[in-house]
Amino acid sequence: MADDRTMSDAATKILLSEEEMPRSWYNIVPDLPSPPPPVLHPGTLQPVGPDDLAPLFPMALIEQEVTTERYVTIPEEVLDVYRLWRPSPLFRARRLERALGTPAKIYYKYEGVSPAGSHKPNTAVPQAYYNASAGIRRLTTETGAGQWGTALAFAAAQFGIDCEIWQVRASYDQKPYRKMMIETFGGTIHPSPSDLTEAGRKVLADDPESPGSLGIAISEAVEVAAQHPDTNYALGSVLNHVLLHQTVIGEEALLQLAKVGATPDVIVGCTGGGSNFAGLAFPFLREKLAGRMSPVVRAVEPASCPSLTKGVYAYDFGDTAGMTPLMKMHTLGHDFIPDPIHAGGLRYHGMAPLISHVYELGLMEAVAKTQRECFEAGVLFARSEGIIPAPEPTHALAGCIEEALWCKETGESKVILTALCGHGHLDLPAYGKFLSGDMVDHELSSEAVEAALTKLPAVQAD
């Protein structure tokens, strides 16, 4: 019988059967050394209760948002849709390793096999299911790069409900095929800021050429949902229940690595709002906290929107108009509008409160990278592994390559794990910009950070 090293070296694609698919989502909160700070009502500054969230979310999702249970059972109706693409494959990036000349072993969990081409359906499907079960007939949402909007349109179609989406204007213009894909799934899509909402009209009055932001798009979607009793709002990242649903990524990866006797030394993930990163990392952090492994967990964010590395840890709104509850998170300020980089899914002013708390506890680290370095990593990955990555996971790939090249210098044979959270088939114009030399880097200056933080809400420090 082959030893673990031989098994690990021999594997290129590691698969699970449908019977091995996780039956529960993992909630990291019970395993943390201290609980995360509460979400506050913007008017009273008191912790929000279920009644405060009921106008936007069904009770099942509210319960998941605040649960202290370690595991939440995945409904059979959700598993039935998951089976269209889950379990997703785990690959050993052998050709990338050879191209780098590194002794490191690089594994990537590939979420681009989903119907939407990204990890987003992992939460879109349960959100659509729980809303449909509660009698909701329409969901509103925002989307940046369009992956979340695509996923929710797909998921809504599975459960017979409507879906209305506000897409950040910069990405709406850059990615016209996202609109077509969303409409093919049955969704309705608007560029944001739009003249359909008070929040959008206010932004356009101040800046008719506004490129938009996720914070603005959230304000528009929340405004419409709050005005109609048969309509709820759905969020693709940031909130606890969204991160919870994404943990199927990490749970599967744990089983797959065990099949080849591999244990990660470094886990690298891209971060915007944080759902893909948490989905991969949280199950491994559980194992780390239990003393069963000790990986370094590293987030990679865009240099133009560096909420972890340059933001402050403070209470802030999740949207630009200040309609959401106050969440304690690493933030650049809720009215911050990032430069229109091509990784539209990472253009969010704040980091998920739960990831921010984990960061504050010292359980993970973070770095920021410019988009040209990231696209360089994406092109190298495409030419070696044959998959064109979405702009968002090119940040994680850049982090993996940096670590692998360090291993080349030191001679260490580390196991590096990442999540390739989506393909870039609808992002080819961005690759065209990079290949033609027209892509420019945007880095957020300290002065811009200070200016963006001037309008944080006044909340008494703990």
- Decide if pLDDT at 6 tops 50: no
Q: Which pLDDT score is estimated for 345? A: 57
Q: Look up tokens 């959100």; give the residue.
A: 127
Residues in the chain: 462
Q: What is the pLDDT of residue 1?
A: 32
Q: Domains in the chain, ordered, with CATH?
A: 76-117+239-454 (3.40.50.1100), 137-229 (3.40.50.1100)
**pLDDT for residue 421:** 95
Residue 10 has a pLDDT of 66
Q: pLDDT digits over 84-118, tens only? A: 999 999 999 999 999 999 999 999 999 999 999 99
Task: Please say if the pLDDT value at position 339 is more than 70.
Answer: no
**Can you tell me the mean pLDDT for 121-135?**
98
Provide, rounded to the nearest whole percent, the portion of the chain with pLDDT above 90.
78
Alpha-carbon span 450 to 462, nearest angstrom: 22
Rounded Cα distance, 137 and 135, in Å: 6
Least confident segment among 177-186, 196-205, 336-345: 336-345
pLDDT of residue 341: 56
For residue range 137-158, what is the model confidence (pLDDT) as tens digits?
999 999 988 899 999 999 999 9
Once rounded to an integer, what is the mean pLDDT over residues 259-283? 96
Determine the Cα–Cα distance for residues 197 and 177; give it in Å rounded to an integer.
24
Residues 215-270: tens digit of each pLDDT: 899 899 999 999 999 999 999 989 999 999 999 999 999 999 999 999 999 999 99
pTM for this predicted structure: 0.94
Which 3 state secondary structure label does DSSP give 139? strand
pLDDT band at 344 (very low <50, low <70, confident <90, very high): low
In the structure encoding, which two tokens stand for residue 133, read together?
């079960």
Does the structure show a pLDDT above 70 at 73?
yes
The β-bridge relationship of strands 365-369 and 296-302 is parallel
How many whole angstroms separate alpha carbon 118 and alpha carbon 88? Answer: 11
φ, ψ for residue 39, nearest 5 deg:
-80, 135
Q: For tokens 């704040």, what's the residue?
A: 350
Whether residue 443 has pLDDT greater than 90: no
Longest CA span, the chain? 70
Q: What is the mean pLDDT of residues 191-218?
A: 93
Question: 362 exposed, middle or buried (CB, 10 Å; 0-12, 13-18, 19+)?
Answer: exposed
